[in-house]
Amino acid sequence: MLGCVFNVSQTKNFFSKYAHGGKLDYEEFATVMAVRGATKTGCQSPRIANQYATEVQPSFSLTREPPNQILSEIRVVIGKKGIYGIRDFVRLFNSYSRNGLLGRAETRWCLRENGQSLSDQEFERIFKYFDKNNDDFINIHEFIAGVRGELNEYRQKVVDSVFT
């Protein structure tokens, strides 16, 4: 789509530098390409390369942005379950974890059991965000903390009073 072509050597070099475990994360690829700019990617047409160099803006940041909209949807479903919503959510995920980790299938199953109806794209977005090392597992403690979000001011004061 960018009018750029990589030869075999460039492709191998790119994968050796940016791929993790033989996989190249789309967001990481898009970030690298957007930050580097089209003039350095091997575009065949100087006119296209110059056009993209001035017009391309990185659509992904250098850090992973949390999928806040999806996390909000999960929180809504949990909230509808009342005061035991988050407790049941945590128990569900703990019951399927192996050493604090969940694979794709288990994560999807737990989300469905919790009442989530995420699209494939939403699921991939949230799974990739929490799969920080691209090993196809997420740390359930990080996932649950991400779903819970920040403590409100009152709860933070209670926690601080207990641990200080």
Residue 61 belongs to a domain? no
| Least confident range of 5-14, 18-27, 73-82, 103-112 | 18-27
Residue 60 belongs to a domain? no
Residue corresponding to tokens 């790119």: 14
Does residue 9 have a pLDDT over 60? yes
Residues 78 and 126 in one domain: yes
Residues 78 and 133 in one domain: yes
Domain membership of residue 119 as a residue range: 68-163
2 Cβ contact partners less than 8 Å away, ≥ 6 residues apart: 33, 38, 41, 43, 48, 52
The residue among 142 and 35 whose pLDDT is bigger is 142
| Least confident range of 50-64, 74-88, 100-114, 137-151 | 50-64
Residue 44 belongs to a domain? yes
Does residue 31 have a pLDDT over 80? no
CATH of the domain at 100: 1.10.238.10
Q: In this predicted structure, what is the pLDDT of residue 3?
A: 55
Residues 141 and 76 in one domain: yes
DSSP 50-64: HHHHHH---SS-SSP
Residue 63 belongs to a domain? no
Distance, in Å, from the CA atom of 71 to the CA atom of 80, rounded to the nearest integer, reads 14
pLDDT tens sequence across 115-138: 999 998 899 889 988 988 888 899
Torsion (CA) 22, 26, 32, 38 in degrees, nearest 10: 120
